[in-house]
A = this chain, B = another copy of it.
């Protein structure tokens, strides 16, 4: 009568199989790995029992042995924004292909939580990190430990230290430039832009694209049309209000991200102005929101899922080759024209 008392255990181990068959643990291990040292007959017998008993190697033991947990730490500014959750989907997609799991932490847009997340994830022995910087982050030394020890690290969207760390970004300059030119083509001349915090690369690049766009349309740069917000709805609403109260109002506005654009939209409506008749509006927004508002919003769409996939691919490239130049993946955005910017 076979001993099945251990079947109530959560998981069975090599030892259980070895005891049942009456061989040593090492024989079982080798049989399951098709090692030539083990006779074909014994191999088959062991593999059959392992299959019946639904044996799977204990990943903790493997992690201890190989010093590899098959876990990727992911840090995002928040979990509930579609932009990030979609990127996470992309990361998960590639991670799963490679037999990795992701452990997600949210910085809540604070530097403090970002730092503690880095620490905690490293403590729990993730093999590396994929990170989008928080809005507050202006110092970057909490990544020293990763960089100096060659622990895989990838930044996406909001990035830093590009000489040392591979990044995935979109071509923000081109995106802003496209929007500006789109406005111009559709007859708008007083084009305003609401930027974000100047220390963020995305903010700098989008502002640059705005300026280049104006130049390529031979429009003069008017400092009062370059507004700033901290990316909160309230601050974006205030920036919009300032624009709308100018003696010469802009006739077209775009803003750094979707939160800001939707706040701007509300503010414009609150001022009793029509979109796009009085003011045209274009956003860096995601697909779903843009089609649901009224009027439907022309916007730059990010290839979010692909961004996540690319970030994960850069991660695995680091896992494989230790020494490598940090790559930069630059993805193109798409300008989807809807009603909010066409008279």
Contacts and interface: CB of A to CB of B under 8 A. Distances in A.
How many copies of the shown chain assemble into the complex?
2
Contacts of A151: 10
Given A82-B80, A149-B10, A61 B64 contact: yes
A88 B103 CA distance: 12
A282 B102 CA distance: 37
A63 interface: yes
B58 A10 contact: no
Contact of A292 (B11, B92, B292): B292
B79 A88 contact: yes
Interface string A255-274: 00000001001100100000
A5 to B, nearest CB: 14
B80 A89 contact: yes
Interface in A21-57: 56
A92 B80 contact: no
Contacts of A79: 85-86, 88-89, 92
A185 interface: no
A66 to B, nearest CB: 10
Nearest to A108: B89
B104 A92 contact: yes
Contact of A293 (B69, B82, B292): B292
